[in-house]
A and B are shown apart, each in its own frame.
Chain A
């Protein structure tokens, strides 16, 4: 059994799926913030529309996705150069551009389609949980602008953080593709929790 290692901080995002309104503010904010090159396929985060008909009833849901900053990150394991790595202090998964040879093995390995190849950088690029913003005391750009209050960010090691509270109050939460054993740090809850 894989054991999650203890980190000083355990950054995580809790997404209240009911409150995502598919406005795409997060996607554009992220693109602006990190100068992600123009083009539909270049993104660090995305909102998926899931359109289903169940028992004759249409149910459309919106699902924000991004790097899961997995505790067992397949992208890190497959990286031949060590460009992809996971920070011990807070668990953020990053890519060091000058160490990336652009082999894209990590893109293939990622079960969440969270990485893209940045032609301008000549390296694979991905969500950093907005680490440079965190270091300046700001929230991640997608969380900061989330109009529906769907995205919530914080430290799971802190019981008073919004993410800890949301998970504690939630009747149910889930992660994506748990069967892959990646131990993600993006959690989804459906009940209409109280967020700002």
Chain B
């Protein structure tokens, strides 16, 4: 008999024949084998690398295989929790599609034809290529993009090779750049990778397209769920009804690209109705007297005309959130690379929060703390002969030559790079030819907009080196591919993270490498040695780096770290508890009293400390003189989003699903069971206009471009009219990642690659596409 699953909700009942039988317990107990208690042979410590939140975890090993991953409950980051992606790390470890040996290209770029080589041959080849580029064009023509825990290793190699400023962390340029620049100009501080959002202690949370439940990081979601538990009011604003909308008290379907108008109107109401936190504004901010007359024009009625959200609704929200100040927050979205006016958006959010006075306050922004740990003992890489040569040549920063950014942004871009502009420099070979590129843990064909231009850029390189786990699309273009060990097969540098509850955690191999792979420190060491730069990599692999660092720590700390997998500062006071009849004021005071005794302080302003800010004024700049001086708008402005040129063209927006990380988990069996193809969300009105039915196979078209693999249309009013949505990271075209090959449509290929003039970061959502039946 074939019994099909998933009939549950349809209500096919079979149990109705039950009578009131007395429950007879097991009569065959003697015949049964007892289930053995669960006992792993070995437990090793680690932190997750399925995404970059790096949750602390344990790996359980039985019979020489990793069987189970579990959050480390001693970690104050994730308190024992892992998400689906984290749990599924095992399937990446044992993915038989992995890169298994070093590869040298033998076919054309993009063909994916390689020969397998030994590690020595691979190192020799890379060294030869780097030398050629350095001799012919100079060391500054070597570029690097990187993402992941191994960044310090590959960046060290890059510097030893004489690489200068032509490197980029896409996490800035393709993700948080505009948000962080907006906060930098306002608070003198970027929010960084682990955002200081005190969600669990918040009573009112406004999310503007920050999809907490699907674009998820475990501890942020954990604290968000705690806010739900505390009955915090949650307002979710997005053109799309996401799973986060499902968790909100109020969902507002905003017109795409108009969020800044919404926030400016919130400020307008707060100022006009005098709802602001005067004590805080007087003490900690500059420029309120300039903001006040300026904001008058951004009325809720005006905002309604832009956003489609009723003026009354905006007024009510502004009043409500102000009534909870300072224990409330307007969350600055993480990926703020949307419309090219994103720094203005971020500035507006930063200012609105400042008027609520929630900085370093429970439920607002906490102060992150960090435990200082010793660094591995390695010589100064600037002494390398190539670094010296680069210094003599003092070539310009290519990215800064191609942009006109405000001066403070230029300093930040100097430290983090602009990957979007870097690839444009390669494509145009301007201001000078860039001839070698290293991609470490990044796939430029999936994190850049208008990604076909990247293929063109790749053709301009003399040498393209890739270090990765899986044979993703960019590896098809690489001259050499170094297969990296997964996080479960290696050590790594000791990691101390700046977070509300500061902590240090570490990584050790759970099993030996499954294939012939090495860690990034070993790869960098190998290349350096073949370049005559061995002295700058005194350790042959990550293990050496790790032990060099921890051996400088006090003995009791080493023991604690190796025994528990994590060191944190204790005690950690409990979050505010608003259940029962307690007066919230008392509840917050109780929590703050507990923090007075804690060894770290996330709420210095609430606890009465004097705080100064990293802006020139030492205060929060509502009005930015720094921007004004550079000829930029000192107060946030609003620019309406662009419009389609033709009828039946739709704005393409994209986002994440809960079970995938960027473009790097789509070959994972367990995650594919939950999401194995993307679909195109189309509003019913739009679908009617173009005669597309729900479930029908379609392709997306933009100019000459047509998405190659048909996907289903999902006709739903969860997406606003005029906009279509697809999940990020699909349209996979590497034949070697067989589980996702030819699946989905690629957002990277079709989205825009504009940029924000304040941050230089990308703007992806200005693209319009049409839909055709497949």
Contacts and interface: CB of A to CB of B under 8 A. Distances in A.
Interface of A: 1-5, 16, 18-19, 21-25, 27-29, 31-33, 35, 38-41, 48, 50, 58-62, 65, 71-72, 74, 77, 82, 85-88, 94, 96, 98-99, 103-104, 107-113, 116-117, 128, 130-133, 135-136, 138, 141, 144-150, 177, 180-182, 192-196
B69 A138 contact: no
A180 B32 contact: no
B68 A141 contact: yes
Contacts of B80: 144-145
Given A61-B246, A98-B33, A136 B88 contact: no
Contacts of B577: 194
B229 A82 contact: no
B226 A149 contact: yes
- Leading 6 A-B pairs by shortest Cβ distance: A113-B8, A135-B37, A60-B246, A148-B225, A88-B25, A28-B87
A72 to B, nearest CB: 6
B222 A148 contact: yes
B579 interface: yes
B76 interface: no
A87 B579 CA distance: 37
Most-contacted residue by chain B among A60, A103, A116, A193 (CB, 10 A): A60
B605 interface: no
Nearest to A114: B8
B69 A65 contact: no
Contact of A147 (B20, B26, B222): B222
Interface string B579-600: 1000000000000000000000
A132 B20 contact: no
Given A60-B243, A135-B37, A24 B20 contact: no
B231 A24 contact: no
A41 B18 contact: no
Contacts of A177: 13, 15
B228 A192 contact: yes
Interface string B53-92: 0000000000000011111000000011111101110100
Given A136-B37, A147-B83, A28 B28 contact: no
Contact of A132 (B37, B228, B658, B717): B37
B659 interface: yes
Contacts of A40: 673
B228 A35 contact: no
Interface residues of B, number: 75
Which DSSP category, helix, strand, loop or mixed, fits chain B's interface? loop
30 contacts: A18-B228, A21-B225, A23-B659, A27-B674, A28-B671, A29-B82, A31-B87, A32-B69, A33-B67, A41-B6, A61-B246, A72-B23, A74-B15, A98-B33, A99-B28, A99-B31, A104-B3, A108-B3, A109-B14, A110-B15, A112-B8, A113-B7, A116-B5, A145-B87, A147-B216, A180-B16, A180-B18, A193-B229, A194-B229, A194-B579
A23 B83 contact: yes
Contacts of A149: 222, 225-226, 229
B26 A145 contact: no
B84 A24 contact: yes
Contacts of B38: 130, 132-133, 135-136, 138
Given A85-B26, A113-B6, A147 B221 contact: yes
Contacts of B216: 21, 23, 147
A117 B21 contact: no
Nearest to A181: B18
Nearest to A124: B3
Contacts of A39: 673
A25 to B, nearest CB: 5
B618 to A, nearest CB: 39
B669 interface: yes
A32 B83 CA distance: 13
A2 B21 contact: yes
Contacts of B718: 58
B463 interface: no
Interface string B626-637: 000000000000
Contact of B5 (A41, A50, A74, A138): A41
A85 B222 contact: no
B18 A1 contact: no
B246 A59 contact: yes
Contacts of B231: 192
Contacts of B659: 23-24
A16 B221 CA distance: 15
B207 to A, nearest CB: 13
Interface in B226-247: 226, 228-231, 241, 243, 245-247
B251 A72 contact: no
A181 B7 CA distance: 19
Contacts of A150: 225
B670 A28 contact: yes
B691 interface: no
A38 to B, nearest CB: 5
Nearest to B23: A5
Interface in B670-714: 670-671, 673-674
A136 B62 CA distance: 15
Contacts of B23: 2, 4-5, 71-72, 86
Contacts of A96: 28, 31-33
B611 interface: no
Given A23-B216, A60-B243, A145 B70 contact: yes
B82 A145 contact: yes
A111 B14 contact: yes
Contacts of B717: 58
B609 interface: no
B86 A25 contact: yes
A18 B228 CA distance: 7
Interface in B734-767: none
Nearest to B219: A147
A33 B35 CA distance: 14
A149 B218 CA distance: 12
Contact of A33 (B1, B15, B68, B79): B68
A71 B563 CA distance: 42
Contacts of A18: 228-229, 247
A167 B568 CA distance: 34
A28 B180 CA distance: 34
A180 B673 CA distance: 31
A82 B360 CA distance: 62
B166 interface: no
B646 interface: no
Contacts of B1: 103-104, 108
